[in-house]
């Protein structure tokens, strides 16, 4: 039967219309609003921004986002940040400075955060409204690092809510549309304060509890903390489970799989070397994998702890750094695994780590290689070169000079100290201990394990670092020296207590073991 021309023309019209429709750019999906009851706000973050773990900025930041990449200023690069914050009413301003030093007391407002958290002094305000609530638009300029902060604040029940962007000043115009869109999306919601998950060792009664009670308290806290993180993973982080950790990864599946395998391999190796530290099951923890160094550095600007493992978050941090790649990019991950193992022994271990052990572990693991489930701790060119230099000059540091840190004593009069200068030698020392039988020279095959447990004993005896809560932003020269004097005194006392507990050797014994140490380096291949 011949085709009806009118019908054919109708089909043609529909087909042409459909083709034209398909050729049109697809309409952008509306950005979904995020409700954050802890702040009493609803908002829409910029579409392409990644959510990061929050809780930094002394607990004021409840949700945290960063731009896809860093932006450059004149002399710095900085990844733009979006903070959703809440500042509770109350707080004692009289505790902001104790014994002449500023302390990390909770921020009480966005202005307070700008001043005491970011070192800002040039702050402008203008009236604004959010969801029918009268507030203020806040602009803080001349922050350290060429940054500027642009925020909106509003008074709500129990305190002040705020949403603020932080960016390199000369790049502020680049995110202007994102700022305006997020501010325009703001609305208020009923505020519901979140639970208090303060680490149990920060409670005054912690020191009075026996070992069993403290272990039980840490176990419950770690379980609750990890369960809460698992129940509400940040947007962009995919939830997985591994043998030892809950995994939150923003990286691609192939890299995530390799990272998990490498972390499990590293933990198995550490357990083999130090079985005395791992008789109990590990406490629950999160393995978090960022997809770029920019994202990780953005997160680090909101926290005080610079380690790859955050004890108060129970999180091991790793980054998919495409500039490293291959089998040599796992040092950061291996350090995170080791720090968690140490922290599980006692919360006093990481704060008490002496410079020789801290830096030695860093370099020993930096030069490691991992291909699948095979791990190799090969010495770096830096380590080999330094040891060769010391041997040629017959200046190889003695064991006691390294382990008791006589080789680089604390500066006098509160002067700022130089970076630890013997990292390659300390990496070689750990290589001797863990791989080449050096612990046997002490007649103690569990020397490193004993030393780590000695850290916990010394920390319990000496007590916490008296400067642990000192805020470093804005310190005067006199305050910085005062802070240094107090810290050095604590650290030196801690080191004496550690050596008394873990290596109580007489000089003749040290000298005999040192001969074995020197021979090891001379014959090392």
Sign of CA dihedral 373, 378, 381, 383: positive
pLDDT of residue 7: 33
Give 31's DSSP letter.
P
pLDDT of residue 23: 33
Q: Are residues 383 and 324 in the same domain?
A: no
Is residue 400 pLDDT above 90, yes or no? Answer: yes
Q: Give a yes or no: residue 13 inside a domain.
A: no
Is residue 10 pLDDT above 70, yes or no? Answer: no
133 pLDDT band, cuts 50/70/90, is confident
Burial label, 5 (beta-carbon count in 10 A; 0-12, 13-18, 19+):
exposed
Is residue 22 pLDDT above 90, yes or no? Answer: no
The rounded distance, in Å, linking the Cα atoms of 399 and 247 is: 40
203 pLDDT band, cuts 50/70/90, is confident
Q: Are residues 118 and 258 in the same domain?
A: no
Is residue 250 pLDDT above 70, yes or no? Answer: yes
Q: Give a yes or no: residue 1 inside a domain.
A: no
Number of domains in the chain: 3
pLDDT in tens, 57-91: 999 999 999 999 999 999 899 999 999 999 999 88
Q: Give the count of alpha carbons within 13 A of 514, CB side only.
A: 16
The CATH number that applies at residue 172 is: 3.40.1000.10
pLDDT in tens, 159-173: 999 999 999 999 999
C-beta neighbour count of 403 within 10 angstroms = 23
**Alpha carbon 11 to chain centroid distance?**
62
pLDDT in tens, 504-514: 889 999 999 99
Is residue 437 pLDDT above 60, yes or no? Answer: yes
Q: Give a yes or no: residue 113 inside a domain.
A: yes
Structural domain ending residue among the three candidates 310, 344, 378: 344
pLDDT of residue 325: 67
121 pLDDT band, cuts 50/70/90, is confident
326 pLDDT band, cuts 50/70/90, is low
Q: Give a yes or no: residue 26 inside a domain.
A: no
pLDDT of residue 370: 87
Mean pLDDT of the region 284-289: 98
27 pLDDT band, cuts 50/70/90, is very low
Q: Give a yes or no: residue 202 inside a domain.
A: no
Q: Give a yes or no: residue 207 inside a domain.
A: no
Q: Are residues 356 and 429 in the same domain?
A: yes
Q: What is the DSSP string of 264-301?
A: HHHHHHHHHH-GGG-SSPPPP-EEEEESSHHHHHHHHT
pLDDT of residue 21: 30
Structural domain ending residue among the three candidates 284, 319, 344: 344
- Share of residues in the chain with pLDDT > 90 (%): 79
Q: Are residues 390 and 514 in the same domain?
A: yes
Burial label, 64 (beta-carbon count in 10 A; 0-12, 13-18, 19+):
buried
pLDDT of residue 131: 77
Higher pLDDT, 206 or 470: 470
Mean pLDDT of the region 92-119: 95
Structural domain ending residue among the three candidates 344, 366, 394: 344
The rounded distance, in Å, linking the Cα atoms of 116 and 107 is: 8
- Region of poorest pLDDT, from 21-25, 189-193, 214-218, 240-244: 21-25
pLDDT of residue 207: 80
29 pLDDT band, cuts 50/70/90, is very low
- Share of residues in the chain with pLDDT > 70 (%): 94
Q: Are residues 394 and 460 in the same domain?
A: yes
**Alpha carbon 259 to chain centroid distance?**
18
The rounded distance, in Å, linking the Cα atoms of 263 and 433 is: 22
pLDDT of residue 122: 87
Burial label, 235 (beta-carbon count in 10 A; 0-12, 13-18, 19+):
middle
C-alpha to C-alpha distances, 396 to 153, 380, 512, nearest whole angstrom: 59, 18, 15
Q: Are residues 388 and 284 in the same domain?
A: no
Is residue 6 pLDDT above 50, yes or no? Answer: no
14 pLDDT band, cuts 50/70/90, is very low
Q: Give the count of alpha carbons within 13 A of 93, CB side only.
A: 6
pLDDT of residue 517: 96
For residue 11, give every residue at least 6 positions away whose Cβ sits within 8 Å of its Cβ, in sequence order, or none: none
Q: Are residues 120 and 165 in the same domain?
A: yes
Q: Give a yes or no: residue 406 inside a domain.
A: yes
Mean pLDDT of the region 348-362: 96
Q: Are residues 392 and 256 in the same domain?
A: no
Domain that holds residue 66: 34-188
pLDDT of residue 206: 84
Q: Are residues 92 and 140 in the same domain?
A: yes
The CATH number that applies at residue 317 is: 3.40.30
pLDDT in tens, 138-187: 999 989 889 999 999 999 999 999 999 999 999 999 999 999 999 999 99
Q: Are residues 85 and 122 in the same domain?
A: yes
pLDDT of residue 103: 96
Mean pLDDT of the region 416-422: 97
Q: Are residues 43 and 168 in the same domain?
A: yes
Average pLDDT of the chain to the nearest whole number: 90
Q: Are residues 140 and 173 in the same domain?
A: yes
Q: Give a yes or no: residue 22 inside a domain.
A: no
The rounded distance, in Å, linking the Cα atoms of 186 and 418 is: 47
- Total-model pTM: 0.91
């Amino acid at each position: 039967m011949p085709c009806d021309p009118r019908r054919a023309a109708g089909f043609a019209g529909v087909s042409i219309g459909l083709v034209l429709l398909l050729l049109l750019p697809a309409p952008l999906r509306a950005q979904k609003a995020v409700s954050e009851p802890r702040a009493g706000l609803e908002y829409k973050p910029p579409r392409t921004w990644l959510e990061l773990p929050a809780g930094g900025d002394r607990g004021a930041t409840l949700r945290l986002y960063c731009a896809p990449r860093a932006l450059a200023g004149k002399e710095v690069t900085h990844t733009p940040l979006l903070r959703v914050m809440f500042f509770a009413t109350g707080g004692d301003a009289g505790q902001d400075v104790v014994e002449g030093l500023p302390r990390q007391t909770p921020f009480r407002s966005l202005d307070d955060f700008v001043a005491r958290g970011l070192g800002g002094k040039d702050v402008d305000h203008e009236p604004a409204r959010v969801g029918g609530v009268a507030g203020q638009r806040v602009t803080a300029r001349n922050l350290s690092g060429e940054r500027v902060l642009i925020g909106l604040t509003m008074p709500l029940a129990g305190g002040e809510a705020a949403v603020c962007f932080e960016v390199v000043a000369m790049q502020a115009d680049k995110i202007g549309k994102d700022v305006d869109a997020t501010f325009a999306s703001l609305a208020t919601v009923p505020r519901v304060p979140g639970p208090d998950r303060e680490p149990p060792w920060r409670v005054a009664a912690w020191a009075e509890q026996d070992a069993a009670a403290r272990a039980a308290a840490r176990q419950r806290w770690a379980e609750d903390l990890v369960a809460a993180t698992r129940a509400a993973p940040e947007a962009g982080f995919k939830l997985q489970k591994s043998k030892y950790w809950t995994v939150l990864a923003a990286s691609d599946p192939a890299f995530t799989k390799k990272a998990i395998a490498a972390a499990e391999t590293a933990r198995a190796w550490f357990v083999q070397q130090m079985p005395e530290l791992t008789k109990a099951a590990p406490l629950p923890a999160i393995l978090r994998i960022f997809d770029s160094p920019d994202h990780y550095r953005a997160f680090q600007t909101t926290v005080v702890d610079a380690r790859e493992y955050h004890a108060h978050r129970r999180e091991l941090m790793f980054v998919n750094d495409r500039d490293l790649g291959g089998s040599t990019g796992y040092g950061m991950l291996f350090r995170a695994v080791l720090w968690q193992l140490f922290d599980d022994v006692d919360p006093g271990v990481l704060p008490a780590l002496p410079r020789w052990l801290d830096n030695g572990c860093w370099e020993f693991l930096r030069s490691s290689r991992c291909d699948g489930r095979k791990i190799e701790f090969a010495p770096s060119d830096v380590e080999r070169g330094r040891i060769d230099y010391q041997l040629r000059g017959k200046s190889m540091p003695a064991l006691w000079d390294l382990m008791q840190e006589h080789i680089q004593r604390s500066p006098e009069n509160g002067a700022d100290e130089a970076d630890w200068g013997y990292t390659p030698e300390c990496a070689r020392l750990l290589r001797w201990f863990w791989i080449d039988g050096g612990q046997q020279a002490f007649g103690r095959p569990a020397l490193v394990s004993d030393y780590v447990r000695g850290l916990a004993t010394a920390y319990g005896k000496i007590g916490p670092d008296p400067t642990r809560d000192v805020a470093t932003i804005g310190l005067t020269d006199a305050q910085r020296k005062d802070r240094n004097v107090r810290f050095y005194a604590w650290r030196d006392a801690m080191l004496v207590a550690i050596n008394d507990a873990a290596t109580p050797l007489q000089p003749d014994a040290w000298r005999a073991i040192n001969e074995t140490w020197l021979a090891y380096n001379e014959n090392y291949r």
